[in-house]
């Protein structure tokens, strides 16, 4: 090892789900939306002309911030935007989690949390979920350097009621509590209604799931203006302009089309409820999902074998080789047609065809 390597920040990076590109594949492995974004988004892509492209974007991303503020009925000073909710969460970890006490998050959760903690040298403790994969709120009533959890949780898909979320926030006035709501639009209750009441609450959401814009990298956070100001200071100390001209225009178009948003999220919820019935018929069990994916297990078939068999068939789902969940598969909700193909393959594989 060369001497210059001694001062390198060495980290074990997060491994994103694979992004295969096989013709005819059925991709249910990264919780993308099976439907394209709102029609206005494709039109908005061409809004930035040569003159807009050669110039720096608005560093405050005001068009998008204002559209979100209007949609969620908050003041623009309460909105922060970033390059996907990963960027927003990374900035939030860097900004708010600077205590010497450990931050707390569930043992089974978004696997990027420990990666950010390592990157920013934040001490952390994983808090075990109960055996039924629910979060035990009382476990978070103790000294800590901050709290973060997804609601619904991933990959379990389970949602916590807003009263329980509030209890966790109420017991932790001295630290920042981040509620990561990447999947909230598929049926959970958002903590957004609590941001006026708790100045230490940051709610993070994304355009990657319910707004079909994973490809444009747009996430946002809503909180009280003081919190958002701190977050912006750190962001402006990292990169003045994170949102490019097309991301801004596409993002605004997506927020404005409320009808399409309702229609597509409703369709996905309907397909998910049907998937619960179909997969149960095949002998699968799963926590009751409020997200755009199901976390399934089977008493007779090993998840890893199923994962491999599906993969060979061109059906991609997600498998985590981790303690407690290594006999589960996370299956994103696709179109009805894609889900039918999944059931058909499973029936055949299990000899139930």
Interactions with its own copies, residue window 249-268 (CB under 8 A): 250
Nearest residue (CB) to its own copies, 266 versus 305:
266
- Spatial separation of the C-alpha atoms in residues 70 and 75, rounded to whole Å: 8
Say how many residues touch its own copies, by CB under 8 A.
Answer: 90
194 binds its own copies (CB under 8 A): no
**Residue linked to tokens 């080789």:** 321
DSSP lists the bridge partners of residue 213 as none
Q: Which of 75, 110, 78, 115 is nearest to 93 (CA)?
A: 115
Site for its own copies (CB under 8 A): which residue of 56, 111, 304, 322?
A: 56
Site for its own copies (CB under 8 A): which residue of 78, 151, 208, 271?
A: 208
- Spatial separation of the C-alpha atoms in residues 272 and 34, rounded to whole Å: 12
Nearest residue (CB) to its own copies, 154 versus 159:
154
Site for its own copies (CB under 8 A): which residue of 22, 123, 143, 236?
A: 236
Interface with its own copies in residues 143-172 (CB under 8 A): 145-146
Q: What is the smallest separation between the CB atom of 21 and its own copies, expressed in angstroms?
A: 9
23 binds its own copies (CB under 8 A): no
Q: What is the 3-state secondary structure (H, E, C) of 216-253?
A: HCCEEEECCHHHHHHHHHHHHCCCCCCCCHHHHHHHHH
**Residue linked to tokens 């007779």:** 300
Interface with its own copies in residues 284-343 (CB under 8 A): none
**Residue linked to tokens 């509030």:** 166
Site for its own copies (CB under 8 A): which residue of 70, 75, 138, 233?
A: 233
Nearest residue (CB) to its own copies, 96 versus 345:
96
Nearest residue (CB) to its own copies, 57 versus 187:
57
Nearest residue (CB) to its own copies, 41 versus 346:
41
239 binds its own copies (CB under 8 A): yes
Site for its own copies (CB under 8 A): which residue of 25, 40, 58, 283?
A: 58
Site for its own copies (CB under 8 A): which residue of 26, 37, 67, 180?
A: 37
94 binds its own copies (CB under 8 A): yes
> Phi then psi for 295, rounded to 5 degrees?
-115, 100
- DSSP of 73-118, one letter per residue? TS-GGGEEEESHHHHHHHHHHHHH---SSPEEEESSS-TTHHHHHH
Q: Which of 281, 279, 333, 324 is nearest to 306 (CA)?
A: 279
Q: Say whether 31 sits in a helix, a strand or coil.
A: coil
Contact present, 180 and 110 (Cβ < 8 Å):
yes
Interface with its own copies in residues 114-133 (CB under 8 A): 115-116, 118-119
271 binds its own copies (CB under 8 A): no
216 binds its own copies (CB under 8 A): yes
Site for its own copies (CB under 8 A): which residue of 25, 162, 214, 309?
A: 214
Interface with its own copies in residues 173-192 (CB under 8 A): 173-176
- Spatial separation of the C-alpha atoms in residues 147 and 102, rounded to whole Å: 9
Q: How far, rounded to the nearest angstrom, does the alpha carbon of residue 70 sit from its chain's CA centroid?
A: 22
Nearest residue (CB) to its own copies, 278 versus 336:
336
Site for its own copies (CB under 8 A): which residue of 80, 97, 260, 307?
A: 97
């Amino acid at each position: 090892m060369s001497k210059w390597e001694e001062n390198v920040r060495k980290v074990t990076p997060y491994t994103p789900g694979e992004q295969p590109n096989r013709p005819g594949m059925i991709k249910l492995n990264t919780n993308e939306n099976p439907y394209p974004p709102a029609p206005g988004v494709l039109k908005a892509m061409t809004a930035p002309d040569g003159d807009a492209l050669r110039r720096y974007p608005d560093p405050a991303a005001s068009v998008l911030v204002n559209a979100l503020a209007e949609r969620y009925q908050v003041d623009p000073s309460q909105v922060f935007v970033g390059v996907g909710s990963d960027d927003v969460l990374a900035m939030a970890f860097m900004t708010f989690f600077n205590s010497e006490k450990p931050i707390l998050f569930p043992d089974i959760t978004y696997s990027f949390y420990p990666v950010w903690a390592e990157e920013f040298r934040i001490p952390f403790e994983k808090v075990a979920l109960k055996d039924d994969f629910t979060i035990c709120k009382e476990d978070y009533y103790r000294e800590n350097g901050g709290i973060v959890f997804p609601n619904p949780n991933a990959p379990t898909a389970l949602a916590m009621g807003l009263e329980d979320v509030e209890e966790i926030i109420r017991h932790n006035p001295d630290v920042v509590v981040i509620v990561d709501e990447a999947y909230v639009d598929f049926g959970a209750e958002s903590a957004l209604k609590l941001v006026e009441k708790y100045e230490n609450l940051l709610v993070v959401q994304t355009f990657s799931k319910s707004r079909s814009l994973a490809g444009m990298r747009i996430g946002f956070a809503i909180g009280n203006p003081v919190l958002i100001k701190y977050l912006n200071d750190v962001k402006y100390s990292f990169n003045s302009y994170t949102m490019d001209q097309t991301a801004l225009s596409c993002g605004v178009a997506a927020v404005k089309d409320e009808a399409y948003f309702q229609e597509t999220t409703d369709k996905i919820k309907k397909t998910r409820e049907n998937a619960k019935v179909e997969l149960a018929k095949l002998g699968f069990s799963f926590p009751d999902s409020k997200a755009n994916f199901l976390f399934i297990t089977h008493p007779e078939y090993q998840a890893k074998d199923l994962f491999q068999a599906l993969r060979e068939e061109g059906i991609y789902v997600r498998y985590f080789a981790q303690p407690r969940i290594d006999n589960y598969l996370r299956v994103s909700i696709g179109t009805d047609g894609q889900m039918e193909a999944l059931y058909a393959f499973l029936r055949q594989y299990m000899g139930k065809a």
